[in-house]
Structure 1
Amino acid sequence: MTAPTRPEPARAAPAHVIADDAEALAVAARLADEFRAGAAERDAERRLPHAEVERLSASGLLAVTVPAEHGGADVTAATLAEVFRLLASADASLAQIPQSHFVYVGVLRAQGTARQREFFFREVLAGRRLGNAQSEAGTRHVQDIRTRLDPAPDGGHLLTGLKHYATGALFAHWIPVLARAGDGELHVAYVPRDAPGLTVTDDWDGMGQRTTASGTVRLDAVPVPADRVVPHHLTFRGPQLHGAVAQLLHTAIDTGIAAGALAEAAAFVRTKSRPWFESGVDTAAEDPLLIQRFGELAIQVRAAEALLRDAARAVDAARADLTDDTAAEASVAVAAAKAFAGETAVTLGGALFEVAGTRSALRGLNLHRHWRDARTHTLHDPARWKVQHVGRYVLNGTRPPRHGLL
C-alpha cells in the first residue's frame, strides 16, 4: 500500500487564532460533529483526510498551546486532553495525526531558543503543521535511535536515517526528526517537508487508524541549519512533563474511541436492533439485559473519562509548580489513566457487537473500526510497564524514570 510522496502541503491563508480554553472546546466539539459524518467511509476506503486536516489548521486548534506571550491561547492540559477526546470520539485517525504536533510544540517551549520559539510559534499560529520522524524499526528497542546528526562544512548539520510510524509527516509543513549527534546526545531537528534528501512514503498498512498515513520517512544527508536543532537531551536532566503530556494525549484518544464506540452502539440498538424473543419487550432498547450491559459499559467509559480529567489536572498542577515530586505525581496519574483507558477502548470496541447483535457485523457498516483503532493505538507502548511504575510509586515511593514515555 505504497503511494507516491505528495508535495509539501499548500501554504494556506493564515489560520484563525483561538482566544481561550472555552473557544478551543467549542471549536473542537463543532469539528468533531463535522468529522464524525464521514469517518466510517474514510476508514473503509482508506481515503486520507487531507481536507479535514486543513480544516483543523484553519480552525486554529493546532495553535492552542502556543504561549500567551507569543499570541496563543496557551490552554490548560485539561482543555487539550478534552480537545483530543472529542476529536477521537468522532475519528480516531484524525485525532492521532496532530498528537506529535503538540508534543514537538512542547519541545520548543522547553528547550528552544528565543529565536526558535519566535519563528516556530509564528508558523504554528499561521496554521503550519508539525509532523514527526521519531520511531525506528529493527533497532534493539524504542530508545535505540540510530538516525545521525552529523556536522556539515557550513556549520550546520546533515541528517541521515530511516524512520517508521511517522504519523503526521505526510500532512506536515515541518517534520521534527529525533536524532543523535556524534556525542550520542539526543536532538530534534526541525526540517521542512520539502527539504532535499527527505522522502515521505505513504506505506502505512495497519489494520486500525488506517488514515493516519503513519508511513516511512527516509533521510539521505538532509541539510539542517544550526538554528533548526533543539537539544532534546536537556529535557530529561530535570523534572519534566514531556512524557506526561504526550501520554495524556494518547490517553485522551483511547478514551474518545471508547466513548465513540458506546455512542454508536447505543444508536444502533435504538434504531436497528431487534429484541430477543424471551425479553417480552417491543424494542431492543427496552431489553433489561441490554440495559444492564449498557450501564456497565457506560460506567467503564465514565471511569476512563474521570481518570483522564484527574491526570490532566495533575499535569496542570505540575506545570504551575514543577518539582521532582509534582512531575512524578503527574506521570503516575497519566500512567494510571492510560492503562485503564486502553483496556476500556478495546473492551468497548468488542462489546459494541455483543450488544448490537448479528447485523452489526456486516462489513459495510464498518463498526469494527472502533476495535481496530483501539487495538492498534494501544500497541503504542505497553500498559504493563505503566502499571509497574504505578505499583513502584505507591508501594515504595519510587519516582518514575525520566525517559519521556511515561
Structure 2
Amino acid sequence: MIAAGHPFAPPSHEQRWIDTATELAAEFAKTAAEYDESAELPLANLQALHASGLDVALLPAEYGGESLSYRSFGTIVRLLGAACPSTACIWVMHIGAATGLVTRSTPDVARFYADELIAGRRFANALSEPTGGNLFLMPLQHAAPVPGGYELTGAKRFASGCEIADHFLINALVDGQPAFFGLAADPSTMAYIPIWDTMGLRASRSQLIEFTGTLLRADRLCPPSTGPHPNHIGAGLAFLSLGIADAAVTALVAHARKRVIPTTGKPLAEMQWLRFEAADVHTRLEAAGMYAHHMCWLADQNSADFIPATMRAKQLANVIAVDAAQLAVRVGGASAGYLRSSPIERLFRDAQAGGLMAYSVEVCKDVIGAGLLAD
C-alpha cells in the first residue's frame, strides 16, 4: 500500500473508511470459498457494505454523500478483492452504476437515484452485448421511439448482481447514437437467463438479461457527457485484480515458509529460484499498484488523462494477478495449489477473469500500442 503523505495516497481524513473496509474484508474472507462453491450471490456481504455507510460515502456531497476520493475507493476495492473477489466485483458494478446515474443525470433524476442508493436499493450495469465483445460503450442494439421513450428488444450479458438489482445503467442506440438510461427492473419485459457456470468469480452471477419491448423512459435518458468524466467501474477493475494478486502472494509466501523440502530439510522459501520469481512478482505488483493509484489521482483531479490511464492500469493489474496466482500454484504443488480445498486454486481461477473483462488485456494493449506508434 502507498504510504500516508504520498500524493497518490488516500486523503488522511478518509482513513476511517479504509479501516471500515479492512474490518469487513476480514469477515468476507471467511466465507469466500463457500460462496465460490455454491455460486450464490454474497448478499450478506453487500448488505454489510451498505450498512457500514460505504455506499453512501461515495455519492457526491451535494447528494448526501462524502465525495469519497477515487484513491480511497481503489484502496477499498483492493482490500475487498483480496478477501472475496466476487463481492468486490459486484460492488464495483453497483457503485459504478449508481454513481454513474447520479453524476450523469439531470438534477431531479440524480436526486432520485441518490435517494434510492441511500435507501439501500441495488444497482447493476447492463452495457455488454452478446455480439459486442469489448464495445460495451458502443452498443449495437437499437431502441425504437415509442410514446414516453424508447423500446428495447435485445440482450445484455455479464450483468454482475443483476438478479437482485432494482435499477440498471443501460445503453442502446437512439437515432444511431449511443445513449445511456436509468432503467428500473421490470419483470414483465426482462428475463434473467441462468447460463452462469463460470470458472472464476462464480459468486458474481453475471447473468444474461433478455429484454422484450422494455421501455427506456425518455425522462431517464442521461444528457450527453461534456468534458472529462471519470467513473468507478473503470477505476475499480484494476484494483479488483490487484486484490487477487495480493491474496495469491500472501498464500504463496505462507506456504513457502512452512513447506519443508524432504531432500534438503529446508523450507521452500530458501530456494533461490523461488526467491527470484517471488521478487519479480512482488516488484511488478508494487509497480502496478503505484500506477493504479496514479490513475485514481488523475480521476480525483478530473483529468482527461484518466481514460487512457485506466487501460494501462487494468492491463498491468490483470497480468500480474495471473502471474502471481500461477506462481502460487507452483509453490503450492498438487496438495496446496491444485486441490479444490486450497484457496490458491480458487485464486488462480478468479485471477483469469480480470483480463477477459472489457476492456480485455489484448484490447488495452492494442489501444496503447496504436497510440504510441501513430504518426
The TM-score range, normalised by the shorter chain, is 0.7 to 0.9
Post-superposition CA distance 1:299-335 (Å, at most 9, x none): 2221221111121112222x1xxxxxx41x3233332
Q: Give the Cα separation in 1 of the matches to 2:331 and 2:356.
A: 25
Superposition CA RMSD, Å: 2.4
Match of 2:362 in 1: 384
**How much identity, in percent, do the aligned residues show?**
27
Match 1:204 to one of 184, 196, 201: 196
Q: What is the deviation of 1:111?
A: 2.6
Post-superposition CA distance 1:183-228 (Å, at most 9, x none): 1222223222245312223321221111111011111122344322
Match of 2:347 in 1: 370
Match of 1:275 in 2: 261
Moved more, 157-166 or 258-267: 157-166
Q: How does 1:15-30 map to 2 (within 5 A)?
A: 21-30=14-23
Match of 1:341 in 2: 317
Q: Give the Cα separation in 1 of the matches to 2:52 and 2:163.
A: 20
When normalised by structure 1's length, the TM-score is 0.81
Moved more, 199-208 or 247-256: 199-208
Native 8 Å contact 2:329 2:348 kept in 1: no
Q: Give the Cα separation in 2 of the matches to 1:335 and 1:151.
A: 35
Native 8 Å contact 1:132 1:176 kept in 2: yes
Moved more, 56-65 or 257-266: 56-65
Q: Give the Cα separation in 2 of the matches to 1:118 and 1:298.
A: 44
Post-superposition CA distance 1:151-200 (Å, at most 9, x none): 333x344332211111121121212221222x122222322224531222
Partner of 1:230, secondary structure, is: coil
Opposite residue 209 of structure 2, the aligned amino acid is V
Q: What is the deviation of 1:351?
A: 0.4
The gaps in structure 2 that reach 5 residues or longer are 1-12
Native 8 Å contact 2:33 2:343 kept in 1: yes
Q: Give the Cα separation in 2 of the matches to 1:316 and 1:189.
A: 25
Partner of 1:121, secondary structure, is: helix
Q: Give the Cα separation in 1 of the matches to 2:217 and 2:282.
A: 52
Q: What is the deviation of 1:109?
A: 4.2
Match 1:84 to one of 67, 77, 98: 77
Relative to 1, partners in 2 of residues 1:127 and 1:22: Cα closer, same or farther, differing over 3 Å? farther
Match of 1:311 in 2: 295
Q: Give the Cα separation in 1 of the matches to 2:85 and 2:29.
A: 10
1:118 aligned onto 2:111 = yes
Relative to 1, partners in 2 of residues 1:109 and 1:49: Cα closer, same or farther, differing over 3 Å? closer
Q: How does 1:6-405 map to 2 (within 5 A)?
A: 21-139=14-132, 142=135, 145-153=139-147, 155-181=148-174, 183-231=175-223, 234-235=224-225, 238-242=226-230, 245-271=232-258, 273-275=259-261, 277-278=263-264, 280-281=265-266, 283-317=267-301, 319=302, 326-327=303-304, 329-360=305-336, 361-380=338-357, 381-391=359-369, 393=371
Q: Give the Cα separation in 1 of the matches to 2:240 and 2:112.
A: 29
Moved more, 38-47 or 143-152: 143-152
The gaps in structure 1 that reach 5 residues or longer are 1-19, 320-325, 399-406
Number of equivalent positions: 360
Q: What is the deviation of 1:395?
A: 6.1
Q: What is the deviation of 1:76?
A: 1.0
Opposite residue 240 of structure 1, the aligned amino acid is P
Q: What is the deviation of 1:341?
A: 0.9
Moved more, 365-374 or 287-296: 287-296
Partner of 2:188, secondary structure, is: coil
Q: What is the deviation of 1:289?
A: 4.4
Match of 1:8 in 2: none
Partner of 1:75, secondary structure, is: coil
Relative to 1, partners in 2 of residues 1:45 and 1:367: Cα closer, same or farther, differing over 3 Å? farther
Q: Give the Cα separation in 1 of the matches to 2:366 and 2:216.
A: 39
Partner of 1:107, secondary structure, is: helix
Q: What is the deviation of 1:288?
A: 4.8
Moved more, 74-83 or 43-52: 43-52
When normalised by structure 2's length, the TM-score is 0.87
Q: Give the Cα separation in 1 of the matches to 2:151 and 2:72.
A: 38
Q: What is the deviation of 1:74?
A: 0.6
Native 8 Å contact 1:96 1:253 kept in 2: yes
Native 8 Å contact 2:237 2:314 kept in 1: yes
Relative to 1, partners in 2 of residues 1:147 and 1:395: Cα closer, same or farther, differing over 3 Å? closer
Q: Give the Cα separation in 1 of the matches to 2:134 and 2:66.
A: 37
Match of 1:11 in 2: none
Q: What is the deviation of 1:336?
A: 2.0
